[in-house]
């Protein structure tokens, strides 16, 4: 018994806990913490891949250039916000409708839930290839259907004109993110006690009143988490637009992550690209803080 007690106390000691955490901590430092601080430090330099000279420290020079003399930044930032907010709002609205439908005792509900997940689980490359084919202006299914119905006289160049390209990538972004909202909200709906709905029916509340007085308030926590995550993912999203339009035409669908990537690897301005990445991170952090503060105020 004493030996067992001694062995247990040895493995329960704080030192043993630190030793067991050490591999994970080292991995986190190497893959996350060090690159983060290295990138932040690089943003204060003029580091470029085109020169062999050591980068010079320029302080806030890159940040000042971003906000005062970059001719493309505010246009790109504006579309990034429109693109992100459109995805958050419309995917939430459609996701809520699907969640309410899938929460009902309909026949084949399990199959419908699996089908709803398809846009979320399909790989980005397959998604982009399929949508490029569907929206092709020469042989695409959508243009063919619209022309056969007499709705358009000539094919729409969905990815070749600025307005249509912005509409197309936003629509595809909404389609791709609806499943996350639907499944997340569905899990929240299933956690609402049925007694609340029974009480509302006894009080004579109709379905609309029940939705706004019981369902939405009960989903406040789920809504906060899902919309915050969706904003971060969409604003920081890269592969969807990169595979569909590469930010074109003429930077019409360019978002901040792709702009930072092209600045780093096409223009070789690593220091400036690092500053863009830091600005991107700061925007997401500020949004998350504001979103949580507003939620706390609403609950107070």
Burial class (CB in 10 A: 0-12, 13-18, 19+), 42: buried
Q: Is the pLDDT of residue 3 over 60?
A: no
Q: Is 205 exposed, middle or buried (0-12, 13-18, 19+ CB in 10 A)?
A: middle
Q: What is the pLDDT of residue 11?
A: 58
**Which residues are within 8 A (CB) of 182 and not within 5 positions of it... i.e. 6 or more apart?**
94, 95, 96, 98, 99, 102, 116
**Exposure on the CB side of residue 291, measured as CA atoms within 13 A:** 18
Kindly state the average pLDDT of the residues 58-87.
94
- Identify the pLDDT of residue 1: 46
pLDDT score of 247: 92
Residue 161 has pLDDT above 50, yes or no: yes
The fraction of the chain above a pLDDT of 70, given in percent, is: 95
The larger pLDDT score, comparing residue 14 to residue 41, is at 41
**Residue 33: per-residue pLDDT:** 86
Pick the more confident residue, 15 or 86: 86
The pLDDT of 36-63, averaged and rounded, is 90
What is the predicted pLDDT for the residue at 4? 47
Is a pLDDT exceeding 70 seen at residue 211?
Answer: yes
Query: Residue 45: beta bridge partners?
Result: 57
Q: Check residue 81 and give its pLDDT.
A: 95
* Helix segments in the chain, DSSP class H: 2-11, 14-28, 34-42, 61-68, 73-102, 109-116, 118-121, 124-134, 141-148, 162-190, 194-202, 207-210, 216-218, 220-235, 239-244, 256-265, 270-299
pLDDT for residue 58? 93
Q: Alpha carbon 185 to chain centroid distance? A: 17
| Cβ neighbours for 299, distance < 8 A, ≥ 6 positions apart | 220
Which residues neighbour 290 within 8 Å (Cβ) at sequence distance 6 or greater? Answer: none
Using an 8 Å Cβ cutoff, are 257 and 236 in contact? yes
User: Nearest CA to 230 among 279, 177, 179, 169?
Assistant: 177
Q: What is the pLDDT of residues 112-151, one digit of tens each?
A: 888 888 888 889 999 999 999 999 988 889 999 999 998 8
Confidence of residue 186 (pLDDT cuts 50, 70, 90): very high
DSSP state of 54: P
Q: In the prediction, which pLDDT does 31 show?
A: 82
CA distance 105 to 99: 12
Residue 159 has pLDDT above 80, yes or no: yes
Closest CA to 243 of 98, 157, 130, 142: 130
Q: Say how far apart CA 98 and CA 116 lie, in whole Å.
A: 9
pLDDT above 90 as % of the chain: 53
Sign of CA dihedral 226, 232, 235, 240: negative
pLDDT at residue number 209? 87
- Quickly state the pLDDT bin for 18 (edges 50, 70, 90): confident
Number of Cβ within 10 Å of residue 112's Cβ equals 13
What superfamily does domain 73-253 belong to in CATH?
MetI-like (1.10.3720.10)
Who contacts 43 (Cβ-Cβ below 8 Å, separation ≥6)? 62, 63, 271, 274, 275, 277, 278
- 19-30 pLDDT, tens digit per residue, is 788 888 888 888
Burial class (CB in 10 A: 0-12, 13-18, 19+), 204: exposed
Amino acid 9: pLDDT: 55
- Tell me, what's the pLDDT at 72? 92
How would residue 82 be classed by pLDDT, with cut points 50, 70 and 90?
very high
Would you give the distance in Å from CA 252 to the centre of its chain? 19
Least confident among 90-99, 102-111, 218-227, 277-286: 102-111
Q: Does 295 have pLDDT greater than 80?
A: no
């Amino acid at each position: 018994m004493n030996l067992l007690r001694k062995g247990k106390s040895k493995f329960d000691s704080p030192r043993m806990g630190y030793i067991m955490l050490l591999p994970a901590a080292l991995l986190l430092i190497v893959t996350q913490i060090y690159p983060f601080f290295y990138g932040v430090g690089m943003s204060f330099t003029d580091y470029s891949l085109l020169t062999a000279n050591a980068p010079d420290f320029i302080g806030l020079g890159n940040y000042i250039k971003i906000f005062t003399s970059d001719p493309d930044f505010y246009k790109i930032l504006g579309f990034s916000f429109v693109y992100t907010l459109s995805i958050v709002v419309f995917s939430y609205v459609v996701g809520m409708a699907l969640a309410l439908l899938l929460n009902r005792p309909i026949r084949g509900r399990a199959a419908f839930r699996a089908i709803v997940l398809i846009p979320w689980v399909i790989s980005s490359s397959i998604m982009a290839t399929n949508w490029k084919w569907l929206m092709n202006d020469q042989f695409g299914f959508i243009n063919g259907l619209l022309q056969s119905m007499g709705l358009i006289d000539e094919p729409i160049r969905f990815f070749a004109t600025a307005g249509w390209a912005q509409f197309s990538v936003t629509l595809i972004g909404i389609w791709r993110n609806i499943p996350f909202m639907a499944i997340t909200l569905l899990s929240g709906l299933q956690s609402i006690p049925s007694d609340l709905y029974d009480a509302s029916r006894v009080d004579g509340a109709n379905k609309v009143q029940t939705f706004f007085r019981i369902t939405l308030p009960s989903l406040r926590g789920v809504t906060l988490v899902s919309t915050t995550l969706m904003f971060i993912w969409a604003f920081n999203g890269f592969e969807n637009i990169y595979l569909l339009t590469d930010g074109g035409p003429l930077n019409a669908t360019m978002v901040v992550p792709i702009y930072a990537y092209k600045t780093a690897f096409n223009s070789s301005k690593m220091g400036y690209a690092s500053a863009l990445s830091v600005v991107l991170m700061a925007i997401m952090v500020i949004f998350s803080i504001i979103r949580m503060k507003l939620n706390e105020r609403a609950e107070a």
